[in-house]
Amino acid sequence: MRCTIATRILATAVLVAVLISIPSFADDVKDVRGFPDLARRSVELWSDGTRLAGDVTYPKDATEDNKLPAIVLCHGWGGTKAHLNAQIAPQFAAAGFVVMTFDYRGWGESDSRLVIMDEMPKPDKDGYVTVKALAVQQLVDPLDQQEDIDAAITFIEGESMVDTDQIGIWGSSFGGGHVVWRAANDSRVKCVVAQVGAMDQMLGLPLEEIHAEKIRRARGEVMPVPLDAEKPEGLVGTPYYDRFAEFSPVGHADKITVPVLIIDAENEHYFDIKDHGGKVYSIIKDKVPSEYHVFKDTEHYDVYRGEKLKETMAMEIPWFQKHLK
């Protein structure tokens, strides 16, 4: 009995400490340039022990009594929340959504994953150690990034102005595959938009070579994480191919039960859209409310700027309004 009471007291103390440290709904509120009716709050969130940087953008007239639907935005390979905050997040927020943007671990303003290269010393009486660690930056690890997406959704669930039964996710490029996988495996997700998304990270990979490298990594014969793997031309960051070989969103598409909008570019140069967005749509089109649009004479990055951005948002905002509101 004494142990049970002590455990409860400790759990209560931890909960109180956590609640005290959480910023209130009105803390650190800033205006959003070009959108006078919006506000933005910078936040910290934790993902499997790593501190991430995020932002919550929302209508200024939002209240705890007027619950709003939320959208978590998942950027692509090498992207950061700064880009999404500039143009995309405000447009969704102006349409009446609470919008969460964040940087994956090791990218943007988020902390890096740490790898201890030397032998770890014994912890002190409080459980702490002082170590020299490698800060792993700009690593494209889809499994770690899924942990980060989970943390972002969990964080937005705790926002007092959010209707937790109406959470959507939006992803672009590498993030487009992420949101398909997440929708297939996370019942909290009620609506999806995936644009120019890579849906099958395993496609074309030399799986035997990758597995052999994975064995060497586990045995300490190579670096614990890859730091210089080859990557598609024009991209920054290092792909973690061991993890790519375990991540195929298209392989989970048949489990999706919520509305999905997929947008592709006809002149996509990173992959064949028939094997990615087109294939996912073929799996879900007769099972859930879904649409598939291929923009003619359009390249991968065109959807982020100019007229194509306007055209893209003109499809995506109504999609979320229809299926979340």
Identify which of 206, 274, 268 has the alpha carbon closest to the alpha carbon of residue 239: 206
Q: Which long-range contacts (CB under 8 A, 24 or more apart) does 133-136 make?
A: 135/106, 136/106, 136/112, 136/225, 136/227
Taking alpha carbons only, the member of 245, 250, 254 closest to residue 273 is 250
* pLDDT value for 27: 56
One-letter amino acid for residue 185 of the chain = N
Pairing mode of beta strands 260-265, 133-136: unpaired
Query: For the purposes of burial, counting CB atoms within 10 Å of the CB of 9, is it exposed (0-12), middle (13-18) or buried (19 or more)?
Result: exposed
- Domains of the chain by start residue, with CATH: 28-324 (3.40.50.1820)
Q: What are phi and psi of 175, to 5 degrees?
A: -65, -25
Closest among 90, 85, 196, 201 to 145, alpha carbons compared: 201
Could you give the maximum distance between any two Cα atoms of the chain, in Å? Answer: 71
Distance CA 315, CA 4 (A): 54
247: Cβ–Cβ under 8 A, 6 or more apart, which residues? 142, 143, 146, 177, 181, 201, 202
**CB neighbours (10 Å) of residue 203?**
15
Beta-bridged to residue 56, according to DSSP, are 41, 100
From first to last of its 325 residues, what are the pLDDT tens digits of the chain?
Answer: 444 444 343 343 333 333 433 443 445 789 999 999 999 999 999 999 999 999 999 999 998 888 999 999 999 999 999 999 999 999 999 999 999 999 999 999 999 999 998 999 999 999 999 999 999 999 999 999 999 999 999 999 999 999 999 999 999 999 999 999 999 999 999 999 999 999 998 878 899 999 999 999 999 999 999 988 888 888 899 999 999 999 999 999 999 999 999 999 999 999 999 999 999 999 999 999 999 999 999 999 999 999 999 999 999 999 999 999 7
What is the per-residue pLDDT for 325?
Answer: 78
Query: pLDDT value at position 276?
Result: 96
Q: CB under 8 Å to 217, separation ≥6 — which residues?
A: 223, 224, 225, 226, 242
Determine the pLDDT at residue 114. Answer: 93
Q: Can you give the pLDDT at residue 227? A: 86
CA distance 82 to 80: 5
What are φ and ψ of residue 297, in 5° steps? Answer: 50, 40
Tell me, what's the pLDDT at 5?
A: 40
- Strands 133-136, 113-116: pairing is antiparallel
Residue 205 has what pLDDT?
A: 87
